[in-house]
């Protein structure tokens, strides 16, 4: 998909860096995967190398194509471009078979007829005896007669790698040297009974064939790496440099999982699992990228808000942290706001447009000119695009809904002082010329001074009339954005309603039971 123009890696020797992101097609881009992809991408860009994609679909009966498309979409949203067509493992069976052949011919792999049920029984037994069940060569040697018998029974063998009896050390760029003792290494399955390679087999072959020089992946794979090294040795394939990343955790230290992926958990501060949900919740991709980059890595000089180019320039595996990181949504919110504040107006409008498309926010009805008028008013006030949409709704409403609490506090309190003031300044608005924020503010300040009032005494009643509540952007900017006619109409409506606020409440109240105990406050 729209491969980016390649970096300056074409001219160099054969040592150009190649990284890859290799998700299994789950149907969405996992936020942890996004960070892995980001680090791989940053490293490739920093080194002038290439960043590749591979879909690990050696298992699935699910819809690979659709599921992979969702992942591509997530990567595109984050603007993490890749440098060649993605590789699909399910289309490479011939290649894997070739390597299976080699292994068998070299005596490095053998058929195993033990069934999953039998294995499970052995494992259960081992657990009971508080032993490890580490599959060595137990069922490697069978006679031809036995083999024939198994086949006649309909058993489909798997292929296992004959592990050499020696410890294996991973030289990891993040965790250093990690050694696994020989006794811990088992003869793992490399070909499933359906003929497909296991993850271990496919990953080693594909990384080698794709020329991957640096494997950047989650720490959950650190324990698999000795297997991969053993396979590389057996196959005579090249060994990439490994860099394992610490795990991304929930605020409570638990692992981020799809099971928490719902609004209830979000309200408890759990981060969305799917990158698409960050988009839907009004985060800017550059903010997410910046935030993710800093979860487990830092430039070492205290910088936090960094452009993509700055991230690329500063990135390196040496400063990747070794401990797991908890996802702190509040900091993402802050960072997102920084990006909203820093976005050029036209970019912000475009982002709002994209965000609002297809939603039922009142703001979705706004045209670009209206959004452009509002953007400067909300860039200081919205941490996410969703907050913008939620708090700016009154601009687009046909009629404002007056918040009773606001009416009572601002308009009716003190014998209707606010209401009286609202009536008095109505004409100031009606006659404002030009109808612009600065001159209007001047006029109002003069008005207030002559009466010995603070501006707030005047601004709040207007705000309630215009927005329905006590919170809005600066009132004169708000009036201008809404327009003179609409503003006056809202003020008149508010005056009317407030004047009769306590008239005939019986009609309303009679039909309702008296306040139940435990009525909720604001």
Pairwise CA distance, residues 139 & 101, whole Å = 20
CB 188 within 8 A of CB 231: no
Question: Using CB under 7 A, which residues numbered 214 to 233 contact RNA?
Answer: 219-224
The residue among 5 and 130 lying less far from RNA, judged by its C-beta, is 130
Q: Torsions phi, psi of 375, nearest 5?
A: -50, -50
Of 289, 294, 352, 495, the residue at the interface with RNA (CB under 7 A) is: 294
The residue among 7 and 244 lying less far from RNA, judged by its C-beta, is 244
Give yes or no for residue 403 binding RNA (CB under 7 A): no
The residue among 165 and 368 lying less far from RNA, judged by its C-beta, is 165
3 state SS of 435: coil
Instruction: Please report how close the Cβ of residue 368 comes to RNA at its closest, in angstroms.
Output: 23
Instruction: Please report how close the Cβ of residue 513 comes to RNA at its closest, in angstroms.
Output: 33
CB 481 within 8 A of CB 373: yes
Pairwise CA distance, residues 62 & 58, whole Å = 11
Give yes or no for residue 394 binding RNA (CB under 7 A): no
The residue among 283 and 476 lying less far from RNA, judged by its C-beta, is 476
**How far is the CA of 442 from the CAs of 1, 66, 422, in angstroms?**
56, 59, 17
Q: Which stretch binds RNA (CB under 7 A): 39-47, 73-81, 112-120, 357-365?
A: 112-120
**Token pair belonging to 114:** 């033990």
Of 16, 17, 22, 352, the residue at the interface with RNA (CB under 7 A) is: 22
Give yes or no for residue 24 binding RNA (CB under 7 A): yes
Give yes or no for residue 78 binding RNA (CB under 7 A): no
Pairwise CA distance, residues 118 & 155, whole Å = 12
Catalytic site includes residue 258:
yes
H/E segment holding residue 451: helix 437-451
Q: Which stretch binds RNA (CB under 7 A): 129-137, 235-243, 272-280, 505-513?
A: 129-137
Q: DSSP letters of 260-299?
A: G-SHHHHHTTPPPSBHHHHHHTT--HHHHHHHHHTSSB--
Of 40, 47, 64, 180, the residue at the interface with RNA (CB under 7 A) is: 180
Residues 6+ apart with CB under 8 A from 83: 3, 4, 6, 7, 44, 50, 51, 52
Residue span 185-204 as binding mask against RNA, x where in contact by CB under 7 A, dash where not: ---xx--xxx-x-xxx----
Of 49, 240, 246, 418, the residue at the interface with RNA (CB under 7 A) is: 246
Pairwise CA distance, residues 486 & 395, whole Å = 10
Give yes or no for residue 298 binding RNA (CB under 7 A): yes
Question: Using CB under 7 A, which residues numbered 476 to 505 contact RNA?
Answer: 476-477
Q: Which of 181, 179, 249, 246 is nearest to 218 (CA)?
A: 246
H/E segment holding residue 243: strand 241-245
The residue among 246 and 285 lying less far from RNA, judged by its C-beta, is 246
Instruction: Please report how close the Cβ of residue 333 comes to RNA at its closest, in angstroms.
Output: 7
Instruction: Please report how close the Cβ of residue 381 comes to RNA at its closest, in angstroms.
Output: 4
Among 258, 331, 405, 445, the active-site one is 258
Q: Tell me the catalytic residues.
A: 258
């Amino acid at each position: 998909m729209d491969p980016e123009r390649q970096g300056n890696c074409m001219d160099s020797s054969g040592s150009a860096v190649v990284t890859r992101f290799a998700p299994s097609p789950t149907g969405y881009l996992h936020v942890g995967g996004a960070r892995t992809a980001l680090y791989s991408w940053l490293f490739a860009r920093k080194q002038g190398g290439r960043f590749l994609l591979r879909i690990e679909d050696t298992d699935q009966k699910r819809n690979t194509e659709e599921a992979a498309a969702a992942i591509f979409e997530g990567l595109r949203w984050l603007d993490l471009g890749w440098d060649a067509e993605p590789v699909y493992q399910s289309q490479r069976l011939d290649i894997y078979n070739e390597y299976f052949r080699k292994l068998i011919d070299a005596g490095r792999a053998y058929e195993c007829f033990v069934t999953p049920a039998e294995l499970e029984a052995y494992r259960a037994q081992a657990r009971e005896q508080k032993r490890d069940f580490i599959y060595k060569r137990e069922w490697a040697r069978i006679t031809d007669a036995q083999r024939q018998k198994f086949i006649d029974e309909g058993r489909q063998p798997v292929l296992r790698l004959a592990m050499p009896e020696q410890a294996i050390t991973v030289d990891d760029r993040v965790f250093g040297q990690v050694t696994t003792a020989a006794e811990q290494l088992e003869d793992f399955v490399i070909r499933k009974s359906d003929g497909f390679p296991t993850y271990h087999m496919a990953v080693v072959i594909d990384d080698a064939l794709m020329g991957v020089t640096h494997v950047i992946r989650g720490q959950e794979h650190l324990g698999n790496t000795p297997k991969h090294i053993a396979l590389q040795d057996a196959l005579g394939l090249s060994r990439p440099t490994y860099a394992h990343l610490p795990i991304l955790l929930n605020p409570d230290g638990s692992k981020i999982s799809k099971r928490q992926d719902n609004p209830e958990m979000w309200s408890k501060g759990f981060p969305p699992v799917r990158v698409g949900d960050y988009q839907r919740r009004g985060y800017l991709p550059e903010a997410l990228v910046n935030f993710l980059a800093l979860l487990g890595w830092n430039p070492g000089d205290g910088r936090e808000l960094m452009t993509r180019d700055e991230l690329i320039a500063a990135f390196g595996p040496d400063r990747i942290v070794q401990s797991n990181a908890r996802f702190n949504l509040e900091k993402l919110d802050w960072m997102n706001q920084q990006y909203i504040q820093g976005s050029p107006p036209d970019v912000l409008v475009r982002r709002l447009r994209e965000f609002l498309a297809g939603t039922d926010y009142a703001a979705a009805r706004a045209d670009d000119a209206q959004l452009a008028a509002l953007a400067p008013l909300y860039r200081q006030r919205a941490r996410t695009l969703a907050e913008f949409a939620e708090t700016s709704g009154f601009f687009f409403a046909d009629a404002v809904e007056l918040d009773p609490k606001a009416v009572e506090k601002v308009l009716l309190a003190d014998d209707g002082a606010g209401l009286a003031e609202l009536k008095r300044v109505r004409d100031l608005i009606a006659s404002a010329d030009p109808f612009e924020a600065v001159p209007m503010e001047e006029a109002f300040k003069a008005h207030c001074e002559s009466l010995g009032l603070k501006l707030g005494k005047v601004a709040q009643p207007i705000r309630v009339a215009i927005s329905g509540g006590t919170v809005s952007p600066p009132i004169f900017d708000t009036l201008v954005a809404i327009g003179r006619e609409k503003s006056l109409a809202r003020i008149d409506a508010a005056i009317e309603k407030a004047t009769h606020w306590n008239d005939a409440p019986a009609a309303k109240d009679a039909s309702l039971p008296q306040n139940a105990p435990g009525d909720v406050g604001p």
